[in-house]
Amino acid sequence: METSYAMHGLIDKLTNNEITNILVIGLKNSGKTTVLKQLGDITSTEITKGFEVEEVEYKNTKFTSFPMGNPNFDKIRRSFYSKISGIIYILDCTNSQPSQIIYAYDELAVILKAEELTAKPLLLAANKYDLKKLSFFEIADNFNYRRLGIIRRTYTQHTMGTTGAGLLEGLEWLFGTIEGIRARNRKVVEESAHEDVHVPTSILSTAVAFVTGFFRKP
């Protein structure tokens, strides 16, 4: 598909071929499988009864999706978290029922509270926007990121999973943000490695005098 080809070019440009794992989550019927199909061929694996994992891979980048909700699968979900570089949350814009909006928010909050996902960038994909019943204002109001109690870089993008519209723009932000974080981390490591250990002149002089005096003949 055109979106997958464009995405491949984006990944080549922004990831520097580093291993990148993106978690793609959303409530049932939000359209996450349709979105994944825009990114490439899906490989499905049933980890255990009732818990199926869908994945799309390109070089060193992997998109992973699994069902939300059932707390019995929390341990399995957490086994994926340590490798995650960024998160895409698929929101169904056609479902404007207050109870469903609250449920979608609460389920996202549960996932984001995981320690392993702290500060990972989040892309909120407002999906099925062509059939929207939720306005951008309602989305922003109900998904107030500050209320999640977690500091992270966030971005909201309108998408249409059936055509791929808006998806590339959202991915460009997500991959760009991930690479920005990596660049800053690399800079910190490089600066730490090149820091010289300076010994104060007074201490150095005292040490030299002591050694000289110790070996001086009477």
pLDDT-above-70 percentage for the chain: 80
In a domain, 166, yes or no: yes
Q: What is the pLDDT of residue 152?
A: 72
Distances from the Cα of 210 to the Cαs of 129, 142, 218, in angstroms?
78, 71, 15
In a domain, 212, yes or no: no
In a domain, 208, yes or no: no
In a domain, 206, yes or no: no
Numbered residues of the known binding site for Mg(2+): 33, 48
Numbered residues of the known binding site: 26-33, 48, 127-130
In a domain, 216, yes or no: no
Numbered residues of the known binding site for GTP: 26-33, 127-130
Domain count across the chain: 1
pLDDT-above-90 percentage for the chain: 35
In a domain, 60, yes or no: yes
**62 has pLDDT over 90:** yes
CATH of the domain at 56: 3.40.50.300
Range of the domain at 20: 2-193
Q: What is the mean pLDDT of residues 58-82?
A: 92
Task: With cut-offs at 50, 70 and 90, classify the pLDDT of residue 61.
Answer: very high
In a domain, 74, yes or no: yes
In a domain, 47, yes or no: yes
Enumerate residues 6+ apart whose C-beta is below 8 A from 36. Answer: 24, 42, 54, 56, 63, 65
Strand 86-92 versus strand 122-127 pairing type: parallel
Q: What is the pLDDT of residue 102?
A: 82
**pLDDT tens string 110-165:** 898 899 998 899 999 989 888 867 777 777 676 665 555 555 788 889 898 888 88
User: Mean pLDDT across the chain, nearest whole number?
Assistant: 82
